[in-house]
Amino acid sequence: MSTAENVGAGPGYTARELTVHRRPAELAKVTRALRATGRPITLVPTMGALHEGHLELIRAARKVPAAVTVVSIFVNPLQFGPGEDLDRYPRSFEADLELCREEGVELVLAPEPADMYAPDRQVGLTAGGLGEQLEGASRPGHFDGMLTVVAKLIGIVRPDLALFGEKDYQQLVLIRRMARDLNFDSRIQGVPIVRQADGLALSSRNAYLSDEQRQAALGLSAAMAAGVHAGPAGPDAVLAAARAVLDSEPLVRVDYLELRDVELGPVPDAGEARLLVAAEVGDTRLIDNALVQLGPAPE
């Protein structure tokens, strides 16, 4: 397979065709040339196994007038710890390309790990204190690896806008903080969680669930809904309502259930907050979250 593959008709790069680049430096040359023409660049980083949640990110990226949308497909080994699911993480590259083509994506970056990381790599990013909380407490180093690859992708593509899903809410907060702290000129945009009709948040890891486990996993979204409903009664009521739902489902083993402010600091007594949960269902780790209005809604 060549390093730059035109998936549409005709040779080379033409707008509205999909071209796959394996080498980051080659894609960087293309995006630099496009930027020189005045066209904005939008980036949707993914680890592949695309589903409707990813497609909503792509659709949001494509709404930017005259934008060229870049989708990265890269299962980043740095954000998987020992014993996690790196080897079995869902991979469906050809199907992913077809979805990208259907959504009008023009450029895909699909590197191998050796293209992204030198064998003697020494420099990376650290996520700081927030990176050691919530997901970071259970997955040490996860957010360091995530921020490192996102910083590399932004450096390669130099997008005007990069889009991330709110399902990985802690990730989104950390990426925004990284962009601020490191003076990136790319704007970071969150896109709301996409759910199936029964409320389950879309995730590539949902493919691991048996029918029984999937039914049990609905407890996470039900807990979020219960917490949102209890918001006017205050923080304690929110956590109690969500916990009651989770405790009623024996197949759900809760890692954490926490209420924070929207920047994931201490929870306020009133105003907007974020309710977050992580749990194991079978041997699959799932996360969910919801925006909660504590106290009476502002007039």
Name the active-site residue from 21, 54, 142, 229.
54
Q: What is the CA radius of gyration of the chain?
A: 20
Asked if residue 60 belongs to a domain, the reply is: yes
218 Cβ contact list (under 8 Å, min separation 6): 198, 199, 200
| pTM, 2 dp | 0.93
Give the residue with greater pLDDT, 190 vs 82.
190
Domain shared by 32 and 180, yes or no: yes
Is 229 catalytic? The answer is no
Domain shared by 37 and 137, yes or no: yes
Domain extent for 160: 19-191
Predicted confidence (pLDDT) per residue in 101-135, tens digit? 999 999 999 999 999 999 999 999 999 999 999 99
Number of domains in the chain: 2
Distance, in Å, from the CA atom of 86 to the CA atom of 79, rounded to the nearest integer, reads: 9
pLDDT at residue number 4: 59
Residue where one domain finishes, among candidates 122, 157, 191: 191
Q: Is 166 part of any known ligand binding site?
A: yes
Q: Is 49 part of any known ligand binding site?
A: yes
Asked if residue 14 belongs to a domain, the reply is: no
Domain shared by 185 and 223, yes or no: no
Domain shared by 177 and 209, yes or no: no
Residue where one domain finishes, among candidates 141, 167, 191: 191
Q: Is 165 part of any known ligand binding site?
A: yes
Q: Is 53 part of any known ligand binding site?
A: yes
Predicted confidence (pLDDT) per residue in 184-221, tens digit? 999 999 999 999 999 999 999 999 999 999 999 999 99
Domain shared by 260 and 116, yes or no: no
Predicted confidence (pLDDT) per residue in 16-54, tens digit? 689 999 999 999 999 999 999 999 999 999 999 999 999
